[in-house]
């Protein structure tokens, strides 16, 4: 059992935050628990098989109250965002309407262009400063043990991180009074630090980088690095993710059956246009496919739409549309259970 946690830790940071484990970092930048409370990890960690116990058996795309195509009505947010800007817009709406006091999310670390830190944004500008994809190692639950329990928060995190929080609330139900809503995004895996270094080398910034943006400023936008002399270097999304970052991922990502955020209240993915039967990565105005996975999520989306923050259009044909534009997610959900039974289970049981 120990080997399972040490080899396939998802790095969420919850166990360390609650003093249930210490985390060691390997040479690729991934974390592993040491001196840990195995009973606690068995109850919360996706590695224990808890990731799949709440997944829908009725649909490849998981349970949903409603499914939309949509984007931020604010053109500046839509342009800057990784895709349609829906999650950023929802975070801004939650703060504006005083539904939550803060947004828990990942922000770039000023000390290293590709590293992240967890922050609590309490102002619109802080949310905007932290918007956009961060295709690098993050620990968004490392702040849970420090939360002010008298306040209300929205958590924006990877699907596996949301699963951990849902599992944790079964042990400590009071956390539901603190973390009021969970937002997530479609995720194909977490690249290693080695992959980040290869990306910077491709971007001609291996000797120094002051800024690294993985996507955005268009859709999909370019991976953009600014070197220490202020020069800008860019490569396409297909080159950055498809040929570099997506080739060296966290070990657990090979067995993750939920890249679509089924445990979140709302989950968003890229609603790519189709060209020659394949996703079109030419530049367009950003667009999300949006799953309201709970009644709370459905209500929030409608509120943000009615006040003019979001543009939403019902997506009734998503069952036929998404296997084309989200092919990797489709194949993962359709085939991975068998792989887990054959490989993952045999290795640890």
For the segment 58-101, what is each residue's pLDDT rounded down to a tens digit?
889 999 999 999 999 999 999 999 999 999 999 999 999 999 99
Q: What is the pLDDT of residue 1?
A: 45
Would you say residue 203 lies in a domain? no
Domain residue limits at 285: 62-159+176-190+249-348
Average pLDDT over residues 309-318: 97
Burial class (CB in 10 A: 0-12, 13-18, 19+), 113: buried
Would you say residue 133 lies in a domain? yes
Please state the pTM of the whole predicted model.
0.94
Q: Please report which confidence band the pLDDT of residue 348 belongs to, taking 50, 70 and 90 as the band edges.
A: very low
Tokens of 298: 């459905």
Q: Give 110's contacts (C-beta < 8 A, 6+ positions apart).
A: none
pLDDT tens profile 10-19? 999 999 999 9
Would you say residue 43 lies in a domain? no
User: Within 10 A of 96 (CB to CB), how many other CB atoms are there?
Assistant: 12
Domain count for the chain: 1
Would you say residue 341 lies in a domain? yes
Q: Please report which confidence band the pLDDT of residue 255 belongs to, taking 50, 70 and 90 as the band edges.
A: confident
Would you say residue 343 lies in a domain? yes
Average pLDDT over residues 345-349: 49
Distance from C-alpha of 132 to C-alpha of 128, rounded to nearest angstrom: 9
Q: What is the pLDDT of residue 301?
A: 98
Would you say residue 49 lies in a domain? no
Q: Please report which confidence band the pLDDT of residue 339 belongs to, taking 50, 70 and 90 as the band edges.
A: low
Distance from C-alpha of 121 to C-alpha of 275, rounded to nearest angstrom: 38
pLDDT tens profile 21-43? 999 999 999 999 999 999 999 99
Are 289 and 317 within 8 A, CB to CB?
no
Average pLDDT over residues 313-334: 94
pLDDT tens profile 169-194? 999 999 999 999 999 999 999 999 99
pLDDT tens profile 137-173? 999 999 999 999 999 999 999 999 999 999 999 999 9
Residue of 262, 18, 252 whose CA lies nearest to 137: 252
Distance from C-alpha of 97 to C-alpha of 88, rounded to nearest angstrom: 14
Residue 252: φ, ψ to 5°: -65, -25
Average pLDDT over residues 264-279: 96
Q: Give 68's contacts (C-beta < 8 A, 6+ positions apart).
A: 289, 290, 292, 301, 312, 313, 314, 315
pLDDT tens profile 90-133? 999 999 999 999 999 999 999 999 999 999 999 999 999 999 99
How far is residue 148 from each of residues 17, 125, 145, 151, 175, measured CA to CA in Å?
14, 21, 9, 6, 11
Q: What is the pLDDT of residue 257?
A: 87
Would you say residue 37 lies in a domain? no
Q: Please report which confidence band the pLDDT of residue 337 belongs to, taking 50, 70 and 90 as the band edges.
A: low
Indicate if the pLDDT at residue 344 is higher than 60.
no
pLDDT tens profile 200-254? 999 999 889 999 999 999 999 999 999 999 999 999 999 999 999 999 999 999 8
Q: Please report which confidence band the pLDDT of residue 51 belongs to, taking 50, 70 and 90 as the band edges.
A: low
- Find which of 32-41, 47-56, 250-259, 291-300 is predicted with most confidence, using mean pLDDT: 291-300
Would you say residue 22 lies in a domain? no
């Amino acid at each position: 059992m120990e080997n399972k946690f040490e080899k396939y830790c998802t790095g969420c940071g919850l166990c360390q935050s609650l003093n249930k484990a210490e985390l060691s970092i390997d040479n690729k930048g991934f974390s592993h628990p040491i001196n840990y409370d195995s009973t606690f990890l068995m109850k919360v960690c996706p590695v224990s098989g808890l990731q799949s116990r709440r997944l829908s058996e009725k649909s490849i795309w998981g349970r949903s109250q409603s499914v939309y195509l949509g984007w931020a009505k604010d053109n500046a947010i839509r342009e800057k965002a990784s895709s349609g800007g829906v999650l950023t817009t929802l975070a801004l709406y939650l703060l504006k309407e005083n539904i939550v006091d803060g947004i828990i999310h990942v922000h770039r670390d000023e000390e290293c262009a590709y590293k992240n830190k967890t922050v609590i944004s309490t102002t619109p500008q802080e949310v905007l400063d932290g918007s956009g994809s961060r295709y690098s190692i993050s620990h968004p639950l490392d702040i849970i043990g420090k939360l002010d329990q008298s306040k209300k928060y929205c958590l924006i995190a990877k699907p596996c991180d949301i699963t951990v929080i849902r599992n944790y609330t079964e042990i400590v139900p009071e956390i539901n009074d603190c973390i009021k809503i969970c937002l997530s995004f479609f995720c194909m895996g977490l690249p290693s630090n080695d992959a980040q270094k290869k990306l910077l080398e491709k971007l001609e910034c291996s000797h120094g980088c002051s800024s690294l943006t993985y996507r955005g400023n268009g859709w999909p936008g370019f991976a953009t690095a600014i070197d220490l002399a202020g020069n800008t270097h860019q490569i396409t999304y297909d080159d950055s993710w498809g040929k570099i970052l997506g080739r060296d991922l966290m070990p657990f990502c090979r067995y993750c059956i939920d890249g679509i955020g089924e445990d979140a209240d709302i989950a968003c993915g890229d609603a790519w246009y189709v060209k020659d039967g394949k996703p079109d990565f030419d530049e367009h105005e950003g667009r999300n496919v949006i799953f309201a996975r709970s009644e709370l999520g459905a209500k929030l989306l409608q509120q943000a739409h009615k006040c003019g923050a979001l543009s939403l259009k019902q997506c009734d044909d998503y069952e036929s549309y998404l296997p084309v534009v989200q092919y990797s997610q489709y194949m993962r959900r359709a085939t991975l259970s068998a792989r887990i039974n054959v490989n993952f289970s045999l290795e640890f049981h």
